[in-house]
Amino acid sequence: MIPNKQAGAALEERPGADVEAWRKDFPVLGRTINGKPLVYLDNGASAQKPRAVIERIERYYSTEHANIHRGVHHLSQEATAAYEAARETVARYFNAAEARECVFTRGATEAINLVASSWGGANLTAGDEMLLTVMEHHANIVPWQMLESRLGIKLVVAPISDAGELLVDEWEKLIGPRTKLAAFCHASNSLGTLNPARELIAKAHAHGIPVLLDGAQSAAHLKIDVRELDCDWFVCSGHKIFGPTGIGVLYGKADLLGAMPPYQGGGDMIDRVSFAGTTYRGLPERFEAGTPNIAGAVGLAAALDYLDGIGHDAIAAQEQDLLAYATEQLSQIEGLTIYGRAPNKVALVSFMIEGIHPNDIGTMLDADGIAVRTGHHCTMPLWERFGLTGTVRASFAFYNTRAEVDALVASLKKIRRLFLG
């Protein structure tokens, strides 16, 4: 668990941080925007790519590419080996028991849709309930709503506190005799709240309910151990963990995943096709119809190796320092309210400045080269709960610096003077 450093009084700069060396690994961080050095604080939307990932993809396309799983020629075997080696890397990184428990998808969104459509379609019937929370990303709401209209299941939504913490007791009380599934975010993309996933999963399991854990926002910040968490499914997107876009992972326990019907039909997922009837392959190919994003998988593996190289303790230390520092500095701006005050957070700060619309703040920060996200961050029900339509969100990665927080704060003060001064 990440220590709560936000409350710490002394915010000494961490000695020995290797941030400057890390920054050199990310070519885009050398860019200027509107004549100012890029200050990239939109990592929650998508993280930047280290040279290790960019070069790996280039090498794959330059020397290794062919279609996988079917060629009898050398290059196809090399591409297949690279793709399956990427799966092994993913499995090792997330500590899955077996590589076949890791299915490559287009991202977390497709992974959730896969589970909703395949497992939900086979196991849920009218009147069944599934438990969500109000802090879910639309990607963990809409696929289930589609099941709601398709099958007549009922979505039950657990509340949060004003500080943005899931009310765990309320959540557990909502588990009833018809509850068949729970799904929640590991970390909230809008508030930063880190949910007590292990505890929640144990409680759900005590009621005999499987859990889908949405790791889209946590995987970039924490070392994920799916066996320690004991989640039944875990989903994440490659592009948020410094890998390419268009690739993601669905982890599922082998027995659960193995019993699920196919999601999409096509090549690669079949055993034998005949108009008299088709049989499907086992895990993981059953869920990977069509030529997959081979370069994406290979690039994602490079990203995970890169993160292992930096070290997860170093990443957590740098990010928690930035979170504490940003929280402290932003709190000093008059009229600024931070949404998401949970003691355990990933490194992002969602805020509003009284009297100034978030979109205006975002546009004016952009003029200073500062990239943030503004609006609802794909969590409209959450903001409805707070009586807002959205916020400004600064989300950090380990390559961000205190100087960048200072640039953000200085620009916000200037914007406040312009609008309200």
Partner 1 sequence: MPLTPELYQEILLDHSKRPRAQGLLSAPTHRAEAKNPEAGDEVRLTLAAGVDGKIAVVGWEAAGSAVLRASCSLMSERIAGLTVSEAQALAGRFREFLTGAEPAANEVDFWEDLAALGGIRHLPPRVKCAMLPWRALLAVGPV
Catalytic residues: 378
What is the C-alpha to C-alpha distance for residues 13 and 245, in angstroms, rounded to an integer?
33
Helices (H) and strands (E) in the chain, counts: 15, 17
Residues that bind partner 1 (CB under 8 A): 356-360, 363, 366-367, 375-376, 389-390, 418-419
Q: Kindly report the number of other CB atoms within 10 A of residue 81's CB atom.
A: 12
- Least CB distance to partner 1 at residue 359 (A): 4
The upper half-sphere exposure of residue 85, i.e. CA atoms within 13 Å in the direction of its Cβ, equals 12
- Residue 16 CB contacts under 8 Å (≥ 6 apart), including other chains: none
Name which of 125 and 359 has its Cβ closer to partner 1. 359
What is the C-alpha to C-alpha distance for residues 179 and 163, in angstroms, rounded to an integer?
27
Q: Kindly report the number of other CB atoms within 10 A of residue 337's CB atom.
A: 16
Judge whether 399 and 23 are in contact, CB under 8 Å: yes
Name which of 89 and 374 has its Cβ closer to partner 1. 374
At 56, give phi and psi (nearest 5°): -65, -40
- Least CB distance to partner 1 at residue 144 (A): 21
Distance (Å) of CA 60 to CA 6, 66, 116, 299, 420: 42, 10, 33, 9, 53
Name which of 340 and 362 has its Cβ closer to partner 1. 362
Q: What angle do CA 233, 111, 135 make, to 5 degrees?
A: 75
What is the C-alpha to C-alpha distance for residues 106 and 268, in angstroms, rounded to an integer?
16
Name which of 34 and 161 has its Cβ closer to partner 1. 34
- Look at the block and give the residue holding tokens 């793709």: 83
Q: Give how far the C-alpha of residue 163 lies from the chain's centroid of Cα atoms, to the nearest Å.
A: 21
- Least CB distance to partner 1 at residue 373 (A): 11
Tokens of 252: 């599922």
Q: What angle do CA 388, 390, 395 make, to 5 degrees?
A: 135
What is the C-alpha to C-alpha distance for residues 148 and 133, in angstroms, rounded to an integer?
16
Judge whether 395 and 155 are in contact, CB under 8 Å: no
- Least CB distance to partner 1 at residue 377 (A): 12
- Least CB distance to partner 1 at residue 389 (A): 3
Judge whether 365 and 415 are in contact, CB under 8 Å: yes
- Least CB distance to partner 1 at residue 349 (A): 21
Peptide bond into 284 cis (omega under 30): yes
3 state SS of 55: helix
Name which of 4 and 363 has its Cβ closer to partner 1. 363
- Least CB distance to partner 1 at residue 386 (A): 13
- Least CB distance to partner 1 at residue 10 (A): 39
Name which of 56 and 377 has its Cβ closer to partner 1. 377
Maximal C-alpha separation, the chain: 76
Name which of 291 and 389 has its Cβ closer to partner 1. 389
Name which of 17 and 142 has its Cβ closer to partner 1. 142
Listed residue (319, 343, 300, 342) closest to 394, CA to CA: 319
Q: Kindly report the number of other CB atoms within 10 A of residue 31's CB atom.
A: 11
